[in-house]
Structure 1
Amino acid sequence: MKLKTPRWWYRRQGGGALAVLLQPLAALFADQTARRIAGDPGYDPGVPVISIGNLTVGGSGKTPVVREVLHMLARNGVDAHAVSRGHGGRLPGPIQVDPDRHTADEVGDEPLMLAQDHPVWISRDRAAGARAAVEAGAQVVVLDDGHQNPSVRKTRSVIVVDGETRNGDWPFGDGRVVPAGPMREPLEAGLARADSVIVMLPTDLATPDPELLAVFGDYPVRVARLEPLRSPSAGPKVGFAGIAKPWRVEQSLRAAGVDLKAFHGFADHGTYTDRELSALARGAEALGAGLITTEKDWVRLPPEWRRRVESWPVRVRFEDEDVILNLLPQDPRDRD
């Protein structure tokens, strides 16, 4: 059973006594992560490797950044393949994702979404996945969610951070590691392995919070935004999402002018049961509304439900279009 992300994780001084009680487990988790990272020099696949990761448990916009990186590299004539663990899928890999054949239960929702446009490999053994991608012709490997995985040697490591700091939110909460907070590892440890930071802003926020920028010191910081690929269809809607921060989807739908009658949050990567979907459909019908969800959620729906639910895809827009290309050597065959 998957649990929804605790809202208090992303509040300063959130969790209170519960966060304090969970701190010993958090310290153990952080120690295990540090030992794993320190003990593996990483497999060198022979081509540049860009790692797109984050410091928190989801909700930063990492996978849309991976997709845009693949788009940008393809536009510049670079054959780039993504490699993912395939979180939420049951196949161990390495296997190239085929969106016409595979399901989210097999390969995970994020790889299935990315594979609509680009070559994507899933592998619980990231090194084996990178090897398979290179053997298939990849000139660049883009690691989806690779920052805490040391098994592949990285040319560049990029961290994606949710830049929304309004209404009491803070991307790192109180800086506590899971399960006492949202951090996968202490902030300083994660930043020490990063080459640059991408701050994801909502479309209605002009500039990042200066206090947030100060956290990154001299690290290169780039700004990006999630923007809808198209406007939702007309009429009232009931929204739902099973991502790390479902409340962000609700905010974005309202900001896009959707007449949102209700919104329901579910656990990240969770499987929707027919009972849950039927309840959503009955609730929407009672309100005279249609159902709408994220593209990541939509690919997890059974085929018969995809016809009844509207997908709301988004893409990343960088303020600096050369943000990723500047991270690579001039020739992908030449590496640092």
Structure 2
Amino acid sequence: MKKKIVFWVEEYFYDPNLFQKFLSILFLPLSFIYCFIVYLKYKMSKPYDFGIDIVSVGNLSVGGSGKTPLVTALAQHYENSAVVLRGYGRASRGLVVVKNSNEVLCNVDVSGDEAMIYVQKIPHAIVIVSENRAEGILRAKELGAKIIFLDDGYSKHNIKKLDFLIDVDSVNSSCIPSGPIRERLWSKKEAVILKEQIDFKRVVELKNKSDKMSLVTAIAKPGRLDSFLPEVLSKNYFEDHHLFTKSELEDILRRDGADSILLTYKDYVKVESFGLAVSLLDLYFEVDERVFNIVDNYRRK
């Protein structure tokens, strides 16, 4: 049931049918109320200076946009970096230090899938999950971080930071619940808009390719993968952040007669301990030097 609801909502936001378009119009009064409340929250916030360089990567809409690979590319570039994120889909609450500068302190169930990507792809970085980003920032400072990257931090207007926003095309520019927009780019709110193919480019490497692969993925808007996919026996979509069981994947391998399961890195970190045959769609971003120059010019001298 959860899977059906999640996919229905993604369709409603990004590829609505006639009935969903009608619903969207009906919800417009609620969208105006929602957007006004979010605006008041923004106006009432005063950015607090934590005495450390903080860079946020976010987007205005619901769903995936490339925040994780962009944060990864940026944090890889700087020594003594930390990544602080909420940790969607994790089986824990509160602040958890997933990795200090030396060692991993929990498993993927506790950290959530995105945090574990950062652990594996940025070996030198501190990684912290926390619903309260301010607490996460303070803990990262205590652990020795010199620059902190916030995954999905645009709405944290109480934090003094450099804001990057990934530009995402959408046929529906209405606020929730009429559309996918979580928050507007408010006037007087400074943010740097980053565009794909201009400020960054996606690169996908297919690793451990087999002759017969079945795609399994639990990412938002899984259709985004189509342009990168090799030939596969089947496409098996699960809701974003789904926690796989070994038997689920074994059933797909058996049903398709597949040699391996084809996964994104976000899914791989949740199933690598299963010992199954895995092929990997490894996505990373090549970031234009201009973006790093913006960060360097923002940093404290």
TM-score interval (norm. to shorter)? 0.7 to 0.9
Unmatched runs of 5 consecutive residues or more in structure 2: none
Q: In the TM superposition, what is the alpha-carbon distance from 1:104 to its structure 2 partner?
A: 3.0
Structure 1 residues 322 and 27, CA gap change in structure 2 (3 angstroms): same
1:309 to 278, 289, 292: 278
In 1, Cα distance between the equivalents of 2:94 and 2:132? 8
Q: In the TM superposition, what is the alpha-carbon distance from 1:71 to its structure 2 partner?
A: 1.2
In 2, Cα distance between the equivalents of 1:149 and 1:280? 41
What letter matches 2:140 in structure 1?
A: A
Residue matched to 1:207: none
Unmatched runs of 5 consecutive residues or more in structure 1: 163-170, 202-221
Aligned: 1:134 with 2:101: no
Question: 8 Å contact 1:284–1:291 — kept in the other structure?
Answer: no
Question: 8 Å contact 1:40–1:151 — kept in the other structure?
Answer: yes
Q: In the TM superposition, what is the alpha-carbon distance from 1:183 to its structure 2 partner?
A: 1.2
Aligned: 1:109 with 2:99: no
TM-score (norm 2): 0.85
Residue matched to 1:97: 98
Alignment of 1:85-234 (within 5 A): 85-98=86-99, 100-116=104-120, 117=122, 118-154=125-161, 156-162=162-168, 171-186=169-184, 188-189=185-186, 193-201=189-197, 222-234=198-210
- The residue matched to 2:233 in structure 1 has which SS? strand
- How many residues are treated as equivalent by the alignment? 290
Question: 8 Å contact 2:210–2:279 — kept in the other structure?
Answer: no
Residue matched to 1:326: 294
Structure 1 residues 104 and 20, CA gap change in structure 2 (3 angstroms): farther
Question: 8 Å contact 1:159–1:194 — kept in the other structure?
Answer: no
Question: 8 Å contact 1:237–1:260 — kept in the other structure?
Answer: yes
Q: Aligned Cα RMSD in Å?
A: 2.5
In 2, Cα distance between the equivalents of 1:13 and 1:34? 30
In 1, Cα distance between the equivalents of 2:245 and 2:37? 34
In 2, Cα distance between the equivalents of 1:92 and 1:6? 26
| 1:210-241 deviations in Å (ceiling 9; x for gaps) | xxxxxxxxxxxx42111124545131321121
Question: 8 Å contact 1:272–1:301 — kept in the other structure?
Answer: yes
What letter matches 1:309 in structure 2?
A: V
TM-score (norm 1): 0.77
Structure 1 residues 135 and 263, CA gap change in structure 2 (3 angstroms): same
Q: In the TM superposition, what is the alpha-carbon distance from 1:161 to its structure 2 partner?
A: 2.4
| 1:231-274 deviations in Å (ceiling 9; x for gaps) | 45131321121111101113311xxxx22222122211122245
Structure 1 residues 236 and 275, CA gap change in structure 2 (3 angstroms): closer
Alignment of 1:247-266 (within 5 A): 247-253=223-229, 258-266=230-238
Identity of paired residues, percent?
26
In 1, Cα distance between the equivalents of 2:108 and 2:191? 32
In 2, Cα distance between the equivalents of 1:82 and 1:44? 18
What letter matches 1:328 in structure 2?
A: D
Question: 8 Å contact 2:210–2:259 — kept in the other structure?
Answer: no
| 1:19-54 deviations in Å (ceiling 9; x for gaps) | 123333433332332233222213321011111000
Q: In the TM superposition, what is the alpha-carbon distance from 1:145 to its structure 2 partner?
A: 0.5
In 2, Cα distance between the equivalents of 1:315 and 1:124? 26
Question: 8 Å contact 1:227–1:314 — kept in the other structure?
Answer: yes
Residue matched to 1:292: 262
Structure 1 residues 273 and 22, CA gap change in structure 2 (3 angstroms): farther
Moved more, 113-122 or 39-48: 39-48
In 1, Cα distance between the equivalents of 2:31 and 2:271? 34
What letter matches 1:85 in structure 2?
A: R
Residue matched to 2:253: 281
In 1, Cα distance between the equivalents of 2:289 and 2:297? 16
In 1, Cα distance between the equivalents of 2:237 and 2:231? 17
What letter matches 1:237 in structure 2?
A: M
- The residue matched to 1:159 in structure 2 has which SS? strand
What letter matches 2:300 in structure 1?
A: R
Structure 1 residues 9 and 274, CA gap change in structure 2 (3 angstroms): same
Q: In the TM superposition, what is the alpha-carbon distance from 1:313 to its structure 2 partner?
A: 1.6
Question: 8 Å contact 1:240–1:292 — kept in the other structure?
Answer: yes
Q: In the TM superposition, what is the alpha-carbon distance from 1:300 to its structure 2 partner?
A: 2.4
Q: In the TM superposition, what is the alpha-carbon distance from 1:120 to its structure 2 partner?
A: 1.1
2:71 to 58, 62, 66: 66
In 2, Cα distance between the equivalents of 1:32 and 1:283? 49
Residue matched to 2:13: 9
Structure 1 residues 228 and 264, CA gap change in structure 2 (3 angstroms): same
